[in-house]
Amino acid sequence: MKKIVVLGGGISGYGSAILAKKKGFDVLLSDAGHIAERFRARLDEWQVPYEEGGHSEERILQASEVIKSPGIPDTAPIVRRIRERGIPVISEMEFAGRYMGRARCICITGSNGKTTTTSLIYKIMRDAGMNVALGGNIGESFAYSVATGDYDWYVLELSSFQLDGMFRFRAHIGVLMNITPDHLDRYDHCFQNYVDAKMRITQNQTSRDWFVYSGDDEVIWRELPKYDLRVRQLPFAAKNAVASAAGDAFLLDGSFTAAVGDRSVEIDTSKLQIKGLHNAYNAMAAALATLAAGVDPESVRRSLYGFAPVEHRLEPVAERGGVLWINDSKATNVDSVYYALESMTRPVVWIAGGTDKGNDYTPLKEFARAKVHTLVCMGLDNEKLVREFTGVVPEVVSTSSLDEAMTAAKRAARSGDAVLLSPACASFDLFRNYENRGELFKAWVTEKA
């Protein structure tokens, strides 16, 4: 019997282990840390063997194949030893994709915008009455959905780490929002390595498939000639004149028309509940992907207009004393913050900081100079932020906790301002993850603002 080891007991790992068990493999789930109670309960329900608090190396190195959770870096000692033994290491996506049957998938990646775009696509398809599951970086585990459901479509948000572990997996509709520097600490601080990971969204695509991508993204344009793509291409843009025989979308004077073959939909962006240029890009990508999936244009329009903002992404929390508090905790890189600052129409008190991922803050300085009157740095090491924005922003305040940062922001904010939590950094110095950071921000606003 083939031995499967699953490394990591989070949402990706528990689903992979249950699918492996259902398919009759000898499976072990191993987590160096703590497995959440809800995941342990499901593993027990399916009688999946697991361990936590450490790895049984001898058992793991007997595996025929290892499914690695995306949060575990290749530099982890156990991963190094697995690779030294020549044991294949794959992602949840690669494993679950083998058992999709006749179902098809829409896969969304990019440095920014992928969560909103994935949520848009899922809503459009669900509203249209399609039998669809949401998975990958958001929603339920893809593998668990494959193990327990019978879907016609899977809408999957994919990180570069998940793409790294995919080899034969094929996206029937691939969506690439953009490529900007992110997670370079996981890619030997080499941007091209990260770019190569993102471009894996196109691997194995055929002439029957679709590739939706930003026609305004210079990195994507530079990469496309390197690939022999036979897929039907659907570019979207607001700045460059792009067109494709298969279809495209272009934003002009506040509206865009998305066309795929002989079907098209026109969208007035002023009627969208999600605002800003970045959300126009997200809406164009979602419209193209869902038209390609066969959704009726009128249904696409109705769902786009009815879509509310995603939690932790430019999420209005409350207005207190004329000050609007905005939770953009999901903005963990410079490009996300660029779009956040670009969309601001009020004077800004900007809260930023955390675990720096090798950021170049230069692209933010023009908006910061024009829109931000106070920068509150929130992290255990604020030296780089303070250095980069002193002289750019009139007031720069260094703090080392959430409460200290929020108190400083409240003190600096004036009626008519926006307090924007848009960190540009990972959250791991002070918080479990960006969701935890955003939830604590919202709780503080509710209680103390």
Please tell me whether residues 8 and 151 are part of one structural domain: no
Summarised one tens digit per residue, pLDDT across range 430-439 is 998 999 999 9
When pLDDT is cut at 50, 70 and 90, the band that residue 89 belongs to is very high
Within-domain flag for 191:
yes
Domain boundary among 58, 73, 90: 90
Please tell me whether residues 22 and 106 are part of one structural domain: no
Q: How many CA atoms lie within 13 A of 250 on its CB side?
A: 8
C-alpha dihedral over 340, 345, 347, 352, to 10 degrees?
-10
Summarised one tens digit per residue, pLDDT across range 246-300 is 999 999 999 999 999 999 999 999 999 888 888 999 999 999 999 999 999 999 9
pLDDT at residue number 218: 93
pLDDT at residue 220 is higher than 90 = yes
Please tell me whether residues 258 and 271 are part of one structural domain: yes
Please tell me whether residues 265 and 335 are part of one structural domain: no
Nearest Cα residue to 29 out of 41, 19, 14? 14
Q: How many CA atoms lie within 13 A of 111 on its CB side?
A: 24
Please tell me whether residues 152 and 285 are part of one structural domain: yes
Look at the block and give the residue holding tokens 């301002």.
417
In the chain, the amino acid numbered 344 is M
Within-domain flag for 334:
yes
CATH of the domain at 289: 3.40.1190.10
CATH of the domain at 67: 3.40.50.720
Domain containing residue 375: 315-448
pLDDT at residue 114 is higher than 80 = yes
pLDDT at residue number 242: 83
Domain boundary among 69, 90, 111: 90
Domain boundary among 270, 305, 340: 305
Provide the whole-model pTM.
Answer: 0.76
CATH of the domain at 434: 3.90.190.20
pLDDT at residue number 314: 84
Question: How confident is the prediction for the chain on average, in pLDDT?
Answer: 93
Please tell me whether residues 278 and 362 are part of one structural domain: no
When pLDDT is cut at 50, 70 and 90, the band that residue 203 belongs to is very high
Contact 118, 307 (CB under 8 A): no
Please tell me whether residues 113 and 221 are part of one structural domain: yes
Within-domain flag for 310:
no
Within-domain flag for 99:
yes
Number of domains observed in the structure of the chain: 3
Please tell me whether residues 243 and 353 are part of one structural domain: no
pLDDT at residue number 252: 95
Please tell me whether residues 439 and 320 are part of one structural domain: yes
Please tell me whether residues 173 and 73 are part of one structural domain: no
Summarised one tens digit per residue, pLDDT across range 374-404 is 999 999 889 999 999 999 999 999 999 999 9
Instruction: Compute how many other C-beta atoms are within 10 angstroms of the C-beta atom of residue 400.
Output: 15
Please tell me whether residues 272 and 413 are part of one structural domain: no
pLDDT at residue 71 is higher than 90 = no
Look at the block and give the residue holding tokens 């949840």.
92
pLDDT at residue 155 is higher than 80 = yes
Within-domain flag for 434:
yes
Within-domain flag for 371:
yes
Using alpha carbons only, how large is the chain's radius of gyration in Å? 22
Please tell me whether residues 335 and 247 are part of one structural domain: no
Within-domain flag for 36:
yes
When pLDDT is cut at 50, 70 and 90, the band that residue 16 belongs to is very high
Nearest Cα residue to 166 out of 231, 107, 229? 107
Look at the block and give the residue holding tokens 């908006």.
367
pLDDT at residue number 57: 93
pLDDT at residue number 182: 72
pLDDT at residue number 166: 92
Within-domain flag for 357:
yes
User: What are the strands of the beta sheet with 418-421, ordered from one edge?
Assistant: 315-320, 323-327, 418-421, 348-352, 372-378, 395-399
Contact 286, 304 (CB under 8 A): yes
